[in-house]
Amino acid sequence: MQSSEPTARVVVGVDGSPSSYAALRWADRYARAVGGVVEAVHVWDTPSAVGFAGPAIDPDFDLEQARERFAAELEATFPGERPPGLKEILVEGDPSETLIRASQGAELLVVGRRGRGAFARAMLGSVSQRCAQHAACPVVVRQETESDPVH
């Protein structure tokens, strides 16, 4: 008999920072413990879409670079084989807004805390702070710890 309860969605932001790798590993462990699934979200932005200040860049080239970065980040986090059921989502746009939208209907949103040095450790990054304030579900903010594998 199948359960009528929906599977818990755990959304996690992945941006290539060590704290986002820690967030992704934590989200995977949590999702396995609750029988849920992980949606790894990598948000990218096309520099050419910002305005006329810079050189024109081919958006298809930007997308391909984003795909390659995302694949490398997932490989660095899960060397060899990705967890079963991991959903990979690549979105162009603002990271905060994208993750806040993705939090709709999720059980949990997991983000990394960026920063270096004493002052940065005392402050959340702007994306993690906005997500903590505006997400539609509880938010876990992870940072890289000494027990996390180094990549």
Task: Kindly provide the b/e burial profile for residues 64-102, where b requires at least 16 CB atoms within 10 angstroms of the residue's own CB.
Answer: eebeebbeebbeebbeeebbeebeeebbeeebbebbbeb
Q: What confidence score (pLDDT) does residue 115 get?
A: 47
Q: Could you tell me which residues come within 8 angstroms of residue 66 by beta carbon, excluding any fewer than 6 positions away?
A: 42, 44, 90, 92
CA 52/CA 67 separation, integer angstroms = 25
Q: What confidence score (pLDDT) does residue 46 get?
A: 66
Return the amino acid letter for 88. E
Residue whose C-alpha is closest to residue 21's, from 92, 76, 72: 76
Which regions in the chain score pLDDT beneath 70? 1-6, 46-59, 115-125, 145-151
Q: What confidence score (pLDDT) does residue 47 get?
A: 59
CA 95/CA 20 separation, integer angstroms = 13
